[in-house]
Amino acid sequence: MTRDHTAEAASPAAATFLSRRGFLGAVGGGLAATTLAACGSDGSSSSGGSEIVFMNQSRGQAAALTQLAKKYTQQTGVKIRIDDVGPADFLTKLQSSSQARNMPDIYSAVDAQSMAPFYKAGWAMDLTSRMKSGWDDTFLSAALKTSTFAADNPHGVKPGMYSAHWEIPAMGIFVNAAKYKAAGLDPDRSPATMSEFIDQLVKIKKSGSDPFWFAASLSNQLIQSYASNYMTDEQLNATFIGKSSWKSDGWRKSLQILVELRDAGVISTDALPSGNSDNPNVEKAFFNTQGVAAIFDGTSAVGVARVTAPDFTDFRSFPLPKADDGTQTPRMVGGAAKGASVNPRSRHAAKALKFLQWLTEPGQQQVFAEKVPLIPSARAVSEKHIPQQLAGIAAKTSDIQLVPNQMRLQVTTALQKGAQAIVLKERTVDEVLGDLDAAQRSA
């Protein structure tokens, strides 16, 4: 499945979207065992009364979710309590709740790596059969495919769909319109190729602005996005599950983009920010201080930006530009971001399921799209409800990678370290490719 997207970081904003390295490495690896040990067959829920408890991870969507919960209570009489934990503490609290057998009735579903232990432990309702009753007609096909665990998924989760999503995000480029105009560029005209984009960044640097930045923890997603210029989804998947080597021309050309960006001198600070707050630092430089002209990030970041930097709205988005020598139609990394899972052991599981079904209806998705904002996963929500800042990426949501499996954690870590090493001229592309093959074998 393709659900990672960057979206809100754990400290303070995504997966892509939670503390991607330090937190997941320390907590995620041991979570399955501890959660499984804590689970029996009788199950329980934190909602002992008549209200439904929703544990929410997203600070960017908290206001919209609270608004919709109140509306649902008015319509149905069913009380919904939103427990706004936030991204920094969400996984820790969810793990503690599972161990104490005090899980919420419904809770945010984030990236597959983080959620897999809970799903394997039986804390999420399999929605596959319920989707077939007509619920699936609500969603764009990419949202369904990327939120489904395939039979050979590396997380060991039983095949099925354990979450439903009201957002279909994607990874792309965000540009500061004022800085583009100051360099004599049109921010409403996306570059046709990567070479044109690099030329634009060079002009921006000459105009006196920092040109381009992206977090080390998102470098794997940038490379995966660019790799779609040279490989089909089937070929990408074959690499991720270990059937194909990373030492292929497609991956070599994909990593070469780091060399081109580096040698053009357009990467801000000549290095990639790293650590648990790397992407929040990139987002702060773009949204809050407007110190950098362009960033690579996920569409979910716009919701956080509206909360933390509401006065900055003069920016645009577009997909990562295509390779000049690409052989395939480039496709964005994306698919399914914010959504929720239902606790099947809850005494209110049936009511929680109805609430989730209602949340994903087009009417409610329109509220999310306008208030957060985000790109809705519903087919029926008109493009007019998607804000200008997301329009460039939203126009290409039909071009999203549909890869059944994703990179294993060891490979992701090796690629993130390798990307930084290439930018710093510490390792060559071929050396990093060798590191990736070694990481794949050890996974």
C-alpha pair distances (Å), 231 with each of 238, 246, 366 = 10, 12, 35
Quote the CA–CA distance of 50 and 338 in Å, as a whole number.
26
Mean pLDDT of 26-36: 34
- Residue 1, pLDDT > 50, answer no
C-alpha pair distances (Å), 73 with each of 21, 58, 79, 234, 359 = 39, 21, 5, 45, 12
Nearest one of 90, 95, 104, 93 to 62, comparing CA atoms? 90
| H or E element at residue 239 | helix 233-240
Those residues whose C-beta lies under 8 Å from the C-beta of residue 415, and which sit 6 or more positions away, are: 219, 220, 223, 407, 432, 436
- Residue 12, pLDDT > 70, answer no
Nearest-Å Rg of the Cα atoms of the chain is 21
CB 71: neighbour CB atoms within 10 A?
15
List strand residue ranges (DSSP E) for 249-300, in order.
292-298
Q: Which residues of 286-297 are buried (b: 16+ CB within 10 A; e: fewer)?
A: bbeebebbbbbb
Pick 19 or 176 by higher pLDDT: 176
Mean pLDDT of 337-341: 90
Q: Which pLDDT does position 397 carry in this prediction?
A: 83
Which residues make beta-bridge pairs with 294? 175, 212
Pick 305 or 1 by higher pLDDT: 305
Quote the CA–CA distance of 82 and 67 in Å, as a whole number.
10
Nearest one of 256, 262, 232, 260 to 244, comparing CA atoms? 232
Nearest one of 3, 65, 9, 23 to 283, comparing CA atoms? 9
The answer to which of 40-44, 90-94, 386-390, 409-413 has the lowest mean pLDDT is 40-44
Four-point Cα dihedral 218, 221, 226, 227, nearest 10: 140
Sign of the four-CA dihedral 235, 240, 241, 246: positive
The answer to which of 15-19, 99-103, 186-190 has the lowest mean pLDDT is 15-19
Nearest one of 334, 310, 435, 306 to 393, comparing CA atoms? 334
Which residues make beta-bridge pairs with 161? 148
- Residue 48, pLDDT > 70, answer no
- Residue 384, pLDDT > 80, answer no
Nearest one of 211, 223, 389, 221 to 285, comparing CA atoms? 211
Cis peptide before 373 (omega within 30 of 0): yes
- Residue 110, pLDDT > 90, answer no
Q: Which pLDDT does position 20 carry in this prediction?
A: 32
State the average pLDDT for the chain. Answer: 88
